[in-house]
Amino acid sequence: MPDATVWLEAGAKAILYGSLLLLIGASALRWLLVPRCALELGPRFPLLFESNARIALRAAIIALCACLFRAWTHTVAAFGFGDAGWDNVKLIALQSRWGHSWQLQLAAAAIVVIACAGTVRLPAAWPFETLAVLIFTATIPLLGHAAGDFLRMALHTVHILAAGTWLGTLAVVLLVRMPYNEVASAAFTDSNQRLRQIILRRFWTVAIPSAATAVAAGVMAAYLYVGAFSNLWTTAYGRVLLVKVALAGGIAICGYSNWRRLRRMHPQKMTGETLIVLETVLTFAVVLATALLTETGHPG
């Protein structure tokens, strides 16, 4: 059973990874989904950009805070709670090899915050925001098992981007809202539900290729890290990986059910969102499992 310091580091990583998925999802929604729904959305089309930008900004701020928090959690992991004072935090964050990579990640996170703040006021800043998110994503493997190995870092980056395009976009679709003053208060809930249905009916065009890419990159990474097949159940790393795979399987089942239901549904009919919410909850369970996986020694 992992000790408290492992859970602390895994928790900080889970917050970071979860916010990153939202950032990737916000960019995917902006470039891959909303333009395809422009005709159905009508005059609501440009209003989505503001809501999406605000979601991205909040996620970026959380990611930046998680990066800062990680300097302390990594100090705790290295020295213990009793010796995680300011001097040792500076040692870890500013003088260690881990700290040099952390500084790059922190700088990238700060740039993402600035870029996301720009998109709230200036929609033309979206290309800069997306580029900043891509760079930030590429810094994530610098502080994990893949550090120093180009192939593993590339696989991790592709896996994160694909997972964000698949699952992060779904989470953003659930969070995005029309401005309240744009709809009558009595119709506010129905308007947002209808909005989500329009986008979700096109979501499969993004979800299927990104899910396939995430799975392919994940399988390749697992092959490198697990080694022998028996290590899946004989090592802690393998068991956590199996939990992650089971959760991802649950997400896939929910996604398939949602896709079939939306295909059969009349365009004007509202739909329940229980399975979609469950899919999102399972997503963040996968994020926590992934964070714990990065804190577990791998046999490969």
Tell which phi-psi region holds residue 284, choosing left (phi > 0), alpha (psi between -120 and 50) or beta.
Answer: alpha
Poorest-confidence range of 136-150, 191-205, 212-226, 235-249? Answer: 191-205
Q: What share of the chain is helix, strand, coil (3-state, %, to 5)?
A: 85, 0, 15
Angle of helix 4-28 versus helix 274-294 axis, rounded to 10: 130
Domain total in the chain? 1
Distance of CA 44 to the CA centre of its chain: 26
- In this prediction, residue 189 carries a pLDDT of 56
| pLDDT, tens only, 135-162 | 999 999 999 989 999 999 999 999 999 9
Q: Which helix (H) or strand (E) holds 165?
A: none
Mean pLDDT across 232-250: 96
**Per-residue pLDDT at 32 exceeds 70:** yes
Mean pLDDT across 252-277: 75
- Residue 82 in any domain: the answer is yes
Of 145 and 113, more confident:
113
CA distances from 161 to 213, 228, 286 (A): 9, 27, 15
| pLDDT, tens only, 52-88 | 999 999 999 999 999 999 999 999 999 999 999 999 9
- Residue 237 in any domain: the answer is yes
**Per-residue pLDDT at 272 exceeds 60:** no
**Residue 193 — pLDDT band, cuts 50, 70, 90?**
confident
- Residue 70 in any domain: the answer is yes
Mean pLDDT across 208-235: 95
- In this prediction, residue 186 carries a pLDDT of 45
Closest CA to 66 of 100, 24, 110: 110
Of 102 and 273, more confident:
102
Domain that holds residue 12: 4-294
Of 195 and 128, more confident:
128
- End-to-end CA separation in angstroms for the chain: 21
Poorest-confidence range of 57-71, 102-116, 275-289? Answer: 275-289
Average pLDDT, the chain: 90
- Residue 68 in any domain: the answer is yes
Closest CA to 283 of 27, 24, 96, 58: 24
Mean pLDDT across 177-190: 56
**Residue 183 — pLDDT band, cuts 50, 70, 90?**
very low
**Residue 3 — pLDDT band, cuts 50, 70, 90?**
confident
Closest CA to 56 of 151, 9, 126: 126
Mean pLDDT across 279-291: 95
Report the number of secondary-structure helices (H) and strands (E) in the chain: 12, 0
Task: Give the percent of the chain with pLDDT over 70.
Answer: 92
- Residue 299 in any domain: the answer is no
- In this prediction, residue 30 carries a pLDDT of 95
- Residue 139 in any domain: the answer is yes
Whole-number Å distance between alpha carbons of 174 and 277:
8
| pLDDT, tens only, 4-20 | 899 999 999 999 999 99
**Per-residue pLDDT at 271 exceeds 70:** no
**Per-residue pLDDT at 270 exceeds 50:** no
Question: Do residues 264 and 232 touch, judged by C-beta distance below 8 A?
Answer: no
